[in-house]
Amino acid sequence: MGDAQEVKELFIKVSDELFFVNGYDNVGVADICKKAGKAKGLFFYYFKKKDNIVKLILESQISDMSHKLKSTLLAIGLNGVEKMSFLMNALISKDSQGPRALYYFKDNTLPEWVDSLAHTLKDKYIFPVICEIVEEIAKEGGYKNLLKEQTEIIYLGISAFMHKNFFKMTDEEYYKSAVSAISQTLENAIGCPRGTIVIK
């Protein structure tokens, strides 16, 4: 690995640590450079502005999450419906963490640029996994064979709901109501019996 890549990765590692502990708004480029032991000019050479390093980190985290989910789904030998339950639990259950970069923002609201980017990246990396599972469910169980556009509409609706209510999901009653609605929405769309898609 070249020196330039090592410096970039150092900046990314240090930024992630500082943003997560102190909050994005409380960390300046000078703080990052001081902890990294590098000149501010190098930071701006590689990233231009502070937002850009968050964009790189968030994409890396969502891409890694997608790859890990796909690897796990291949390894554990579930049928299509079980895979959908597993995926929903991994993405939205109270035990799921989501991308670490979303926790850089400490005031319980995501800035519009972060929210928009997270939507775009999840569409890029997570949506194809869901499409594969929906196709598998239809083939295995004789359930509805949804068009890709129908799957996308359902997925985008759930994704928008989760983004809008990201911080409210810590309330136990709200969480139970929300995941019940999501489970029923998926079951109705696919044609599964009630209680087939389980989100804990």
- The CATH number for 16's domain is 1.10.10.60
Tell me: do 82 and 126 sit in the same domain. yes
Tell me: do 30 and 85 sit in the same domain. no
Q: What is the DSSP string of 15-72?
A: HHHHHHHH-GGG--HHHHHHHHT--HHHHHHHHSSHHHHHHHHHHHHHHHHHHHHHHH
- Number of domains observed in the structure of the chain: 2
Tell me: do 131 and 60 sit in the same domain. yes
User: How far is 180 from 168, CA to CA, in rounded Å?
Assistant: 15
Tell me: do 173 and 89 sit in the same domain. yes
Tell me: do 60 and 44 sit in the same domain. no
Q: At residue 50, does pLDDT exceed 90?
A: yes
Q: At residue 142, does pLDDT exceed 80?
A: no
Q: Domain containing 36: what range?
A: 1-48
Tell me: do 8 and 86 sit in the same domain. no
Give the pLDDT mean for 170-175: 89
- The answer, as to whether pTM is greater than 0.85, is no
Q: At residue 1, does pLDDT exceed 60?
A: no
pLDDT mean across residues, the chain:
89
Pull the structure tokens for residue 97.
């963490």
Q: At residue 39, does pLDDT exceed 90?
A: yes
pLDDT tens across 74-109, in order? 888 889 889 999 988 888 876 676 788 988 987 667
199 found inside a domain: no
195 found inside a domain: no
Q: At residue 64, does pLDDT exceed 90?
A: yes
pLDDT for residue 90: 86
Buried b (16+ CB within 10 A) or exposed e, 78-100: bebbbbbbbbbbbbbeeeeebbe
**What is the Cα Rg of the chain in Å?**
19
Contacts from 172-180 at CB under 8 Å and sequence distance 24+? 175/94, 179/92, 179/93
Tell me: do 13 and 97 sit in the same domain. no
Closest of 6, 169, 3 to residue 95, by C-alpha: 169
Buried b (16+ CB within 10 A) or exposed e, 50-73: beebbbbbbbebbeebbeebeeeb
Tell me: do 61 and 44 sit in the same domain. no
Q: Do 200 and 89 touch, CB atoms closer than 8 A?
A: yes
**Tokens 């139970």, residue?**
176
Using 50, 70 and 90 to split pLDDT, how confident is the model at 148? Answer: confident
